[in-house]
A and B are shown apart, each in its own frame.
Chain A
Amino acid sequence: MIKPHSRRHFLAGSGAAAGALALGGPAAFAADPLKVGFVYVGPVGDFGWTHGHDLGRKAIEKEFGDKVKTTFVESVAEGPDAERVIRQLAAAGNKLIFTTSFGFMNQTVRVAKQFPKVMFEHATGYQTAKNVSAYNARFYEGRDVIGTIAGHMTKTGKFGYIASFPIPEVVMGINAFILAARKVRPDAEIKVVWVNSWFDPGKEADATKALIDQGCDVITQHTDSPAPIQTSGSRGVWCFGQASDMSSFAPDQHLTAILDVWGPYYVERTRAVLDGTWQTSNVWQGFKEGMVEMSPYNKNLPAEVVAAAEKIRKGIIDGSHHSFTGPIKDQDGKERVAAGERMSDEALLTMDWYVEGVTA
C-alpha cells in the first residue's frame, strides 16, 4: 500500500494554500504513477450506473498497470459535498478526475478553476472549460432497441417506466422507448413513475409493484439499482437491465440490458494525460463508437424479435436509422417533428416534452 506520508506533512504545513501548492509538488516526482480520481453518485455495488463507471476505472488499471493509481469516492451527494470531495481528490494529487453524475457539473467547473493543472472529465453535463471535458453516451439508442423488443413482447400494451428525474436525458429515453414500441404496437402506452432518486432500491421496487398491478407487463427503468429487475422477475414480468447486465437478478425475465461501456473512453483520456496530449472535448457517443452496447439477448426471446432488435441496432450503426425521425407528435397530438426529419442533437439534449403514448 502506498502511504503518502511526505505529501501529507507537506499539506499539513502549508495551511490554506496547501491545495493550490500541491499542484506544483508532484511534478517533481516524474516516476510517480498518474493518479486518477473518480467521484461516484452511488455505491460501487449498485450493479448499475456506478458499477459501469467502476468497470471503466478498472479498465484503466488493467491497461496501464503501475503507471496509474486510481481512487474513487462513492455515494457522493450532488450539491455542496461534491465540491469538497472533488477538491480533496485534486488536492491529494489526482491529475485526472472523472465526475460521473450530472449534479456534479457546477462543482467540477468551480474546482477546475482552482486547479488549472488537473484535468477534469464530467459525465452527462454541458459545461466545458480549459481543463474540463464533457462526455455522454447516446443511451436513447439502446432505448430504441428495447422499445422495439417491448412492442413485440407485450400482451397488455402497457409499459412501466421507473424514472429518476425529468432531465432531458431521461425524457429522451422515455420518448425513444415508446416511439420504437409504437412502431410495432401502435396502441401501446407507457406509465412513468418518478422516484426522485438515482438509487433507492426500496422506492424502485415499490414503483415496480404499483406499475405491474396497473397492468404493465414490461418494466424498464432509468434508475440505477437492480430492484425493478428483481421485482419483475418474481412477478414473471419482462424487464430490461440498466447500465450493467442485470440478468442474474431475473434470469428468465431479463430480456437484455443497455450497457454503458466507459472503459475505452477512460483509457483513451488517461493515455492523453500520460502523453500530454489531453485537450478539452465534448463527446456524445453511441453504438457506433461502442460506448453503448446491448447485453446478450435472453433465450426466451423469439428469433424474429431478436432480428427486429438487431435491425434497429445495425441501422443506427450504419446511419440508415435514427431513433427520432418524424413524424413525431407530442402528448397533445401536436406535430413537433415533420415527416422524414431527424431531430438535431441540440433539440434532443434539451428535450422537455413527451411524445404520444406517455403518461408522466
Chain B
Amino acid sequence: MSLSTSFKIEPRREIPRSLLYATPLLAVVLTVVAGFFIFLFMGYDPFLSLYHFFVSPLLTFYGLSELMVKAAPLIMIGVGLAIGFRANVWNIGAEGQLTLGAITGGVVALAFWNQEGIWILPLMCIAGILGGMAYAAIPAFLKTHLNVNEILTSLMLTYVATLFLSTLVYGPLKDPMGFNFPQSRMFGDSALLPILLEGTRMHLGTVLALLIAVAGWVLMTFTIVGFQIRVLGQAPAAARFAGFSRTKLIWLCLMISGGLAGLAGTFEVSGPIGQLIPVITPGYGFTAIIVAFLGRLHPLGIILSGLLMALSYIGGENAQVEVGLPQAVTGVFQGLLLFFLLASDFLVRYRIRRRAAVPQAVGAAQPAE
C-alpha cells in the first residue's frame, strides 16, 4: 500500500494556543539551523557568520539603537495592518500611504523652513496621519461604495504615490541650492525628531512606535470596537446579525492602518532622513505585511517580529562587512524564515493522521452545504 493512502491530512478542530505561540520560535530555530548548513556549504565559518548575523549587532548601544530605528516603522505599520487583517480588510498599500504621509509631513516642514517652534513637529505628525488616511480613503471608498477589491486598489496606488513624490522632488520641492539634484532642502531643527540617545539615530518616533503597539493591543483586546473587528473577520454573518456596521468597520480599519503608515512616513523623513528624497522607504510597507503575520496579528507579537525582521536586515549588512557574506543571503534568510513559519503554521492548523485500515463507506463525502 502506498503512503498516500495510509496517511491523511485533516484540519484540527481546535487549535492549541501553545502551538500558536511556539511555532514562530520554532521557525526561527529552524531558520538558524538551516542557515548554519547553508553557511557551511558556502564555505564560510558558520559560527562566525551566525554570530555576526544575530548576535554582534545586539552587543553595542549603537547596534541596539539602529535596531529600533529600523524596526519602528515596521512595528507601526504592522500594528495598523494587523487590525485590518483581523477584520479581513486587506490593505496591501501601506507603502503608498507611508509615502503620502512622508509628503504631507515633509511639505509642512518645508513650508515652515527657516522658522522655529515646538508646534512644527506636532503639526507635521498630524499632516502625516491625515495624508496616510486620505490615501487609504480611496480604497475604503471604492470598497464600501462600489465593492472594489481593496487589495488591488491599495497596491496599485502605491506606485502612484511613489511617482507623485518623484514629481515633487524633481519639481516644486527641489532644493534651490541643490544643483538640480532631486532632493528637498534639509529640514530645519524644529522639524526634526529629537534624538533620545546622544551619538545614535534613535529618535522619539521609536518610542512612540512601541506605545502605538501597546495602544493597538488595548484597542483589540479591551474595547467593543476591537471585538467588532474580530467578529467581522471571523464570522461576517454573525457580525451582520449583531448589527455591526461592516462599512464603518472597513473605514475604521483602513483609517487606522493608513494613518499609522502615514505617521511612519513622517517619522522617516523627520528622523533618519531629514529631507524629502525620491525614495523614502526600502519597502517598509510591504515588509510590514510579513511582520504582521509573523507576529500572529497580535500587536505585542508584532513588536517582537518587527525587531526580528529588523535584525535580519542589520545582521545581513553586518555579515557582509565582517564575514563577506553575499547580500543575497539576507534574502535567503528571510525567505527561510517565512517558509518555516508557513510550514509550521500548516502543522498548527492541520494534523497528519494514519488512516485506519477500514474500507471507506460509499457516499461518505458530505454534500456541499
Interface residues, chain A, with chain B CB atoms under 8 Å away: 1, 3-4, 8, 11-12, 14-20, 37, 43, 71-81, 83-85, 88-89, 91-92, 102-103, 106, 114, 126, 165-168, 196, 349-352
Q: Distance (Å) between the CB of A324 and the closest chain B CB?
A: 16
A352 to B317, CA, bound (A): 35
Interface segment out of the listed B6-14, B26-34, B207-215, B320-328: B320-328
* Closest chain B CB from A91 CB (angstroms): 8
**Residue B18 at the chain A interface, CB threshold 8 Å:** no
A187 to chain B, nearest CB (A): 29
In the complex, chain B residues 315-353 whose Cβ is within 8 Å of any chain A Cβ: 317-318, 320-322, 324, 326-328
B138 at the interface (CB under 8 A from A): no
Known: A16-B60, A83-B201, A165-B182. A74 touches B326 (CB 8 A): yes
Q: Are A71 and B279 in contact (CB under 8 A)?
A: no
Among B125-133, B270-278, B356-364, the stretch in contact with A: B270-278
CA separation between A352 and B70, bound complex, in Å?
A: 34
Choose among B62, B317, B326 the residue that contacts A16 (Cβ–Cβ < 8 A).
B62
B3 contacts A by Cβ under 8 Å? no
Least CB separation from B198: chain A residue: A16
B180: Cβ under 8 A from any A Cβ: yes
Tally A-B pairs: CB < 8 A.
112
- CA distance in complex: A8, B52 (Å): 10
List 6 extra interface pairs beyond A73-B321, A85-B317, CB under 8 A: A18-B62, A84-B201, A88-B317, A103-B277, A167-B181, A196-B278
Contact digits for B154-185, partner A, Cβ 8 Å, 1 yes 0 no: 00000000110010001000000001111100
Residue in contact with B56 in the complex, picked from A8, A89, A165, CB distance below 8 Å: A8
B112 at the A interface (CB under 8 A): no
Which listed residue (A1, A4, A20, A74) contacts B320, Cβ 8 A?
A74
Whether B200 and A16, one on each chain, are in contact in the complex, defined by CB atoms closer than 8 angstroms, is: yes
A35 to chain B, nearest CB (A): 10
Which chain B residues (106-158) contact chain A, with CB distance < 8 Å? none
- Most chain A beta carbons < 10 A, residue from B180, B181, B272, B327: B181
Query: What residue in chain B is nearest A43 (Cβ atoms)?
Result: B327
**B282 A74 Cβ-Cβ under 8 A:** no
Complex Cα distance, B60 from A20, in Å, reads 13
Closest Cβ of chain B: how far from A45's Cβ, in Å?
A: 9
Task: Decide yes or no: A77 and B279 within 8 Å by CB, A18-B60, A168-B180, A349-B179 being known contacts.
Answer: yes
The answer to whether B170 and A166 touch across the interface, beta carbons within 8 angstroms, is yes
CB contact under 8 A between A350 and B272, given known A75-B327, A77-B282, A84-B317: no
A-B pairs, top 5 by smallest CB distance, nearest first, are A80-B272, A16-B61, A77-B282, A12-B59, A352-B180
Q: Which of A11, A16, A79, A92 contacts B279 (CB 8 A)?
A: A79
Distance, CA A352 to CA B174, complexed state (A): 12
Q: How far is the CB of A222 from chain B (nearest CB, A)?
A: 14
B197 part of interface (Cβ distance < 8 Å) = yes
